[in-house]
């Protein structure tokens, strides 16, 4: 636990020092929302109806930028080998980086909520419940995303390979998050949101457990 906390502190300090990059990722996500609204056109009912889907598409596309950069410092300075030499399990290094990535994606999702409301005229009857869905969905993106970012960090085409590997795996998370968000925005007469939330939790348990086990094998190879 001490090693995990130390590694998490290191990740948070690293993200704070590269906060300009976080701003760039937010601008990219907001640009995605803006372009999606242009694609729909002036149909306000269609804009509102697809708001949740476009929010998660923007967050997923933005996640590839932040996740691909999460191992940049380690690979640029050859620090990953040094981290593996310290008496800390590789899984602790993975969970520290995954938690930092999940926190960054969660904050990005929160920041994209106001632009979504403005651009898509989306209702916001339960903003705090939507924040819970964003936390769960961001965790579902961060767990496999961190694993694949570490897997492709040593490759030249890592920014191309990461979305090719990540997007098919997180389709269930994306579908569940979009459906749960839409039900929060437009009502849930059939009480389906609990099922979609449970599905998100289940995928998080699976991804966070398996990816932590696989990370040690990946970094050793």
pLDDT in tens, 185-208: 888 777 888 899 999 999 999 999
Q: Any idea which residue has 């998080």 for tokens?
A: 204
Q: Are 68 and 159 in contact (CB under 8 A)?
A: yes
Q: Are 203 and 140 in contact (CB under 8 A)?
A: yes
Q: Any idea which residue has 């242009």 for tokens?
A: 38
Tell me the C-alpha to C-alpha distance, in Å, between residue 216 and each of 42, 96, 97, 128, 146: 50, 14, 13, 36, 13
Note the helical H segments in the chain: 2-17, 19-40, 44-49, 51-68, 72-76, 79-85, 90-120, 127-152, 158-169, 171-186, 193-220
Highest mean pLDDT among 11-15, 59-63, 66-70, 191-195: 59-63
Which residue segment(s) compose the domain that 130 sits in? 2-220
Structurally, the chain folds into a number of domains equal to: 1
C-beta neighbour count of 164 within 10 angstroms: 12
- What the block records as the tokens of 16 is 């704070």
pLDDT for residue 77: 59
Minimum mean pLDDT among 4-8, 55-59, 159-163: which range? 4-8
Q: Are 110 and 71 in contact (CB under 8 A)?
A: no
- What the block records as the tokens of 156 is 């030249």
pLDDT for residue 4: 66
Binning pLDDT at 50, 70 and 90, where does residue 42 land? confident
pLDDT for residue 148: 87
Q: Are 196 and 129 in contact (CB under 8 A)?
A: no
pLDDT for residue 142: 92
């Amino acid at each position: 636990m001490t090693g995990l906390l130390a590694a998490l502190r290191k990740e948070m300090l690293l993200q704070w020092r590269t906060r300009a990059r976080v701003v760039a990722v937010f601008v990219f996500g907001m640009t995605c929302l803006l372009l999606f609204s242009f694609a729909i056109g002036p149909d306000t009912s269609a804009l509102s109806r697809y708001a949740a889907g476009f929010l998660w598409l923007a967050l997923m596309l933005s996640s590839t930028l932040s996740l691909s950069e999460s191992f940049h410092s380690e690979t640029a300075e050859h620090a990953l080998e040094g981290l593996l030499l310290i008496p800390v399990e590789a899984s602790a290094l993975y969970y520290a980086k995954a938690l930092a990535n999940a926190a960054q994606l969660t904050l990005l999702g929160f920041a994209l909520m106001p632009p979504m409301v403005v651009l898509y005229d989306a209702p916001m009857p339960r903003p705090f419940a939507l924040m819970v869905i964003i936390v769960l969905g961001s965790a579902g993106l961060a767990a496999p995303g961190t694993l694949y970012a570490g897997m492709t960090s040593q490759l030249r085409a890592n920014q191309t390979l990461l979305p090719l590997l990540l997007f098919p795996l997180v389709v269930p998370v994306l579908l569940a998050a979009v459906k749960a968000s839409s039900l929060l925005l437009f009502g849930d007469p059939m009480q389906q949101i609990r099922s979609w939330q449970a599905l998100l939790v289940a995928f998080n348990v699976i991804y966070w457990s398996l990816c932590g086990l696989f990370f040690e094998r990946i970094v050793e190879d």
